[in-house]
Amino acid sequence: MPARLAPALIRRLLLAGLAVAFGAVASVLAPLVGPGDLAPAPWHVAGLPQQTKPFSRFSVVGLDGERVLRVEADNSYGVLVHPLPGGSSAHVLHWRWRVDEPNAAIDLRRKEGDDSMVKVCAFFDEPLTAVPFVERQLLRLARGVSTEPLPAATVCYLWDNRLPPGTQLHNAFTHRVRFVVLRGPESGLHRWQAEQRDIVADYMRLFGDETDTVPALVGIGVGADADNTHGHSLSYLADLVLE
């Protein structure tokens, strides 16, 4: 028996032991990583309405003895989306992520700095009647030119390089997207970090000013962008589970 087991093997053994002890928990999501070079269906890459800029790149690669999702933004925009057409009552989201090459120009408080090195987002079908009037009209216009369903409320978890963990703020371009910063420079580079979030509780915390009920969860996304800063970032993500 080797004196030292690889971290990936140790993690797999621990997960197997937990499954035996407590019973395996099935994720609402299809696996993020499959046998090919891309995330398997129904995962697919989506962009902005009528996007002409480059798309961020999402690929399945080997890293530290396991297969994970590589997320690269290079003056680009893109989100890897998993739709939940019938909606879902699942509310606990787990994942691991790391940043290897940060984008130092990101500043979420300014439009010209509004980019992300890696983000995990939950899309909610908030009724249009709950959306303020001006934003409601803008959302209707955007939906009219988009080939993707556009949610009325999005909660995104970010790994940022400037704001402290726990920061909550609105997207600089639209109040329909609201952020929670989970990791920052203190987490370091090239190091995996594990997360668990109650997305329903976070939705109420961020959108409770508009509604007192939680709408259907209609999708999960993984994204990165660098189109506003014209920069570059490289991150990785694994073990994304919704239950």
Question: Quick check: 243 pLDDT over 90?
Answer: yes
SS3 112: helix
Token pair 């992520």 is at which residue?
A: 97
Res 147: pLDDT: 83
Six-digit token string for 231: 């920069």
Superfamily of domain 27-242: Galactose-binding lectin (2.60.120.430)
* Total residue length of the chain: 243
Gap between the Cα atoms of 227 and 73, Å rounded = 8
Bridge pairing between strands 77-88 and 217-225: antiparallel
Residue 26 pLDDT class (50, 70, 90 cuts): low
Res 156: pLDDT: 98
pLDDT in tens, 140-198: 998 898 888 889 999 999 999 999 999 999 999 999 999 999 999 999 999 999 999 99
Gap between the Cα atoms of 19 and 36, Å rounded = 26
Gap between the Cα atoms of 71 and 80, Å rounded = 10
* Domain assignments of the chain as residue spans, ordered by start: 27-242
pLDDT in tens, 77-125: 999 999 998 888 899 999 999 999 999 999 999 999 999 999 999 999 9
Gap between the Cα atoms of 44 and 28, Å rounded = 16
> What's the CA angle centered on 155, arms 151 and 104, to 5 degrees?
120
Q: Residues 33, 69: contact at Cβ < 8 Å?
A: yes
pLDDT in tens, 39-82: 999 999 999 988 999 999 999 999 999 999 999 999 999 999 99
* Class of residue 173 by CB neighbours under 10 A (exposed 0-12, middle 13-18, buried 19+): exposed
Q: Which helix (H) or strand (E) holds 132?
A: none
Which pTM was predicted? 0.88
